[in-house]
Structure 1
Amino acid sequence: MRWTSALAIYILFWTFSVFLVLPFGVRTSDEAGIERVKGQAESAPHDFAPGKVALRVTIVATILFALFYANYVFEWITPDMVDMTKY
């Protein structure tokens, strides 16, 4: 696999991981015990830490990509194994 392909696949894993990680660790103003601003949605997060989210996303994406790459190298699951046209 070329490094450019690996980078593109890693970016895809990173983007997917954002949607996996974002809902975790979010606290609303009500949960934090702080009064909401007028017009603020009840589900709006109280405090958003983009650095913490980016670190979590990077860790998850790196683990997923490592599993993907290990499967690519060691061929644990191949396209022939999941070919649904045979059945």
Structure 2
Amino acid sequence: MQWTSMLAIYFLFFVFSAFVLLPFGVRTHDEAGVEKIPGQADSAPVEFRAGRLLLRAAILALVVTALYVANYINGWITVEDLILWGPSTGAE
């Protein structure tokens, strides 16, 4: 696998990880006991920490990309393993 392919796969996992991790660790004003600004949504976070989110997403994407590349090299899970229906390839 080329390094540019690994970089593209890492970027895809990074974006996916950021969206998956977005709701974790968020506290609303009611949970924190802080006064809300008039017109503010009830679900708005008290403090949005983009740096912490990006760091967590980068670490998670690195782990998932490493597992993906290791699977690509070693062939632990192949396309044939993912077929759940259809004609069987072996004896029954």
Category of TM-score, reference length = shorter chain? over 0.9
Question: Would you say 1:70 and 2:85 are equivalent positions?
Answer: no
CA distance in structure 1 between the aligned counterparts of 2:5 and 2:86, rounded to whole angstroms: 27
Residue 17 of structure 2 is matched in structure 1 by 17
Residue 43 of structure 1 is matched in structure 2 by 43
Unaligned stretches of 5+ in structure 1?
Answer: none
Equivalent residue pairs, number: 87
Shift in Å, 1:19: 1.3
Residue 79 of structure 1 is matched in structure 2 by 79
CA distance in structure 2 between the aligned counterparts of 1:49 and 1:68, rounded to whole angstroms: 28
Larger Rg: 2
Q: Identity over the aligned pairs, expressed in percent?
A: 52
Taking structure 2 as the reference length, the TM-score comes to 0.88
CA distance in structure 2 between the aligned counterparts of 1:82 and 1:31, rounded to whole angstroms: 43
**Larger CA deviation: 74-83 vs 9-18:** 74-83
**Deviation string for 1:45-69 (max 9, x for gaps)?**
0101111111111111111111111
CA RMSD of aligned residues (A): 1.2
CA distance in structure 1 between the aligned counterparts of 2:62 and 2:20, rounded to whole angstroms: 13
Taking structure 1 as the reference length, the TM-score comes to 0.92
